[in-house]
Amino acid sequence: MTAGSDDTASQDLIAIRTFLSESEADIAKAALEAFGVECMLSHDDCGGQRPHLNLAGGIRLLVRSNDAEQAEEVLSGSQMESGLD
């Protein structure tokens, strides 16, 4: 997810899910990446030194706004059932 594109709307990041568990967030991120959806996790746990801080704000799964619909489909399982297209 790099900046530099003239299409600003495609660069807007939105949180589509929030997780309390880093392992759940990693699984969701891996699922999106398997379907070609670029994403990233955002959380403030002081570089892993204070993981309990995730309980307050959670771990946010971010995607570009124009990828949000596809990401929701992947995470809801509709694309998972049909397999990799």
pLDDT digits (tens, 9 = 90+) for 21-80: 889 999 999 999 999 999 999 886 555 566 665 566 788 999 999 999 999 999 998 655
CA 33/CA 57 separation, integer angstroms: 24
Chain-centre distance for alpha carbon 49: 22
Q: Looking at the predicted structure, is the pLDDT value of residue 1 above 80?
A: no
Q: Which helix (H) or strand (E) holds 39?
A: strand 39-42
**What is the Cα–Cα distance from 1 to 34, expressed in whole angstroms?**
16
Q: How far apart are CA 47 and CA 26, in angstroms?
A: 16
